[in-house]
Amino acid sequence: MRVTVNKIKEMKQKQEKIAMLTAYDYPTAKLVDEAGVPLILVGDSLGMVVLGYESTIPVTMDEMIHHTKAVVRGTKQAMIIGDMPFMTYHTSASDALYNAARFLQEAGAQAIKLEGGVVVAETVKRIVDCGIPVMGHIGLTPQSVHQLGGHRVQGKTPEAAERQLKDAIALEQAGAFAIVLETMPAPLSKLITQKVSIPTIGIGAGPDCDGQVQVISDLLGLFTDFVPKHAKQYAKLADAMRTGIANYASEVKSGTFPTAEHGSTMDESLLKDLARS
């Protein structure tokens, strides 16, 4: 049975820290699920770490649905959360509801995530009222990176901190079951975590959130263009992959791979007639 919204809320009540990771394909999702991670986000970060875009903004609904389907097929326990792409929930509540429903109907996800606070609260309420669990996302919101002036820490002034708190409260009142707090000062994320009854999931927001989320490509050292400040590399798989690929290419070139053990054989007498033809 998959992790539910109620289970995640209970984890906050019990002061049990919540781990969340991104995944974008079947084999990765399978490994994350087998490791016991309760929340898997199919993040629009796939635009950068999988598809090679410069930001998350070009990511489309069809791309998100495609990858979410693969993640769902690879998992049995984790709650799968689909990340609503740029401008798929801003134009109208009906558009937002339609796109959110696609994640559940077509892709098999159990919840969706969207960015923003007060400005999207009515949309969140509409989606939740129709039976779709919503995770909020405030602080540094990557889809608004141009408006924010880059990837900067959010909420550092009293006025900015007050806006972030109001955003969190608005999302809670709208029915969101959890909120991602991205790139904000640790004291502010701690205050927000204390002020709302729903779980907070931090990324670059300090240790006092109810949980943490990381991009799997950063955590495993697979994405080598840059390493975000908030990321900790638990492995360096890119180095291992480079070594393995180089060794393979070298052995093919030298003729040492493949050997007889990597293939199959047959009675060569059966080929005599073919050889004479």
Active site residues: 182
In order of 32, 73, 176, 187, the CA distances from 12 in angstroms are 21, 28, 14, 18
Written as one letter, the residue type at 120 is: V
By the 8 A CB rule, do 151 and 183 touch?
A: yes
Q: How far apart are CA 96 and CA 129, in angstroms?
A: 13
Q: Residue 76: which residues within 8 A CB-CB, separation 6 or more?
A: 2, 33
Instruction: Count CB atoms within 10 A of the CB of residue 123.
Output: 23
User: What are 39's strand-pairing partners?
Assistant: 20, 79
Distance, CA of 135 to CA of 103 (rounded, Å):
13
User: How far is Cα 46 from Cα 52, in angstroms, rounded to an integer?
Assistant: 8
Per the CB < 8 A criterion, the answer to whether 56 and 86 are in contact is yes
Query: DSSP character for 41?
Result: E
* Token representation of residue 19: 């781990």
DSSP state of 24: -
